[in-house]
A = this chain, B = another copy of it.
């Protein structure tokens, strides 16, 4: 929660945040006018600035809240399920479930975040770091406990997993978010474990 808002009306704070998600989903970050966000939230233009430092702060706050939600969910899973295979499955499921529930949020996260100023991207990267760290811890643990195959580069595996999740969400959004995203968990999980190759053909090149 933004420092400014600590002493103020939490309901209004979240109303603005949700209005921002809705407006940005339609118009993108640059297209989202503060005035429209304010109207959508049912407050005056100036009120927005009582809760957020500026427009950029709104976007960053949306991201902070969402990412921390995904991470909290996943951290909890990591603690409860030290079994790496299960942890990975639950991580994917958590990611798909969180975004699958709120397509507008997903759109903002997948598309609109990546624009905006470098400063924002920097902040987003910082926020994502714990998520990536956690994914790497799962992978290392999986290798150590022997449930994953031994010799692979953890960073490359992490990028494959994150990239696949990301692209799956993207595809879901761009086809109109019509099907159940969470239902993609099992096939994606399976695909990530097996790869596309056959055991006996892997060293051909």
Q: Which residues on A are within 8 Å of B, measured CB to CB?
A: 28-31, 85-86, 89, 110-112, 114-118, 121, 125, 139, 142, 146-149, 152-153, 155-157, 159-168, 170-171, 174, 184, 187-199, 201-202, 204-205
| Contact A160:B191 (CB < 8 A) given known A149-B196, A196-B139 | yes
Q: How far is the CA of A164 from the CA of B160 in the complex (A)?
A: 4
> A30 touches which one: B30, B125, B188, B194 (CB < 8 A)?
B30
User: Which DSSP category, helix, strand, loop or mixed, fits chain A's interface?
Assistant: helix
B164 touches A159 (CB 8 A): yes
A115 touches B114 (CB 8 A): yes
A193 touches B202 (CB 8 A): yes
Q: What chain B residues lie within 8 Å of A166 (beta carbons)?
A: 163, 166-167
Q: How far is the CA of A125 from the CA of B162 in the complex (A)?
A: 21
Q: What chain B residues lie within 8 Å of A160 (beta carbons)?
A: 160, 163-164, 167, 188, 191-192, 196
Q: How far is the CA of A194 from the CA of B147 in the complex (A)?
A: 14
Given A139-B196, A160-B191, A160-B196, 13 further pairs, Cβ under 8 A: A28-B117, A85-B201, A85-B204, A110-B114, A114-B115, A121-B174, A148-B196, A148-B197, A159-B167, A160-B164, A160-B188, A163-B167, A163-B168
